[in-house]
Amino acid sequence: MATLTGAVVKALGYDLSGLMTQNETLRAALTQAGMKSGDEVWSLPLDSRLKKQTESAIADLCNTPGNNAAISASAAWLLQHFCPPEIPWAHLDVSGTALWREGGKSVASGRPIPLLIQHLLDDIGEI
């Protein structure tokens, strides 16, 4: 879970968190948990061709590509660099949902906590 760039707001606005993963089981579980908890996500593509956008001429990795294309997916690929290959991972981009914005003020919304708690409860129920 992260908000590395804020770019997902351009695609989804402030009501849905972005979900990116290459694991279809995890995608389905998080989507279902979001619907059950009312803390919904929208799945965005995570094309492996975009992985190269994390390359940088001046750093080990970058989270925002120089061409400003598919920024949310690039941020997801950045996170993937730190996940062992055998562990399913997902990037929840919460830049649009982590804050309530009203009257020129922003306060923490608590999202995606309902989604994550529901996912844990669903996961425990499968044991």
Count CA atoms within 13 Å of residue 16 on its CB side.
16
The pLDDT value given to residue 66: 76
Over its C-alpha atoms, the chain yields an Rg (Å, rounded) of 15
- How confident is the model over 33-46, as pLDDT tens digits? 999 999 999 999 88
Q: Tell me whether strands 17-20 and 91-93 are parallel, antiparallel or unpaired.
A: antiparallel
> Would you state the structure tokens that stand for residue 107, as one six-digit string?
């306060």
Average pLDDT over residues 94-118: 91
pLDDT at 74 over 70: yes
Residue ranges of the domains in the chain? 8-125
Please report the DSSP string for 76-90 in residue order: HHHHHTTS-TTS---
| Domain 8-125 sits in CATH 3.40.605.10 | no
Query: Which pLDDT band holds residue 68 (cuts at 50, 70, 90)?
Result: confident
pTM: 0.85
Query: Which pLDDT band holds residue 77 (cuts at 50, 70, 90)?
Result: confident
- How confident is the model over 80-103, as pLDDT tens digits? 889 999 999 999 999 889 988 888
Q: What gap in Å lies between CA 29 and CA 47, rounded to an integer?
A: 20
- How confident is the model over 9-55, as pLDDT tens digits? 988 999 999 999 999 999 999 999 999 999 999 999 888 888 888 88
Helix (H, G, I), strand (E, B) or coil at 96: coil
Please report the DSSP string for 41-53 in residue order: EEE----GGGGGG
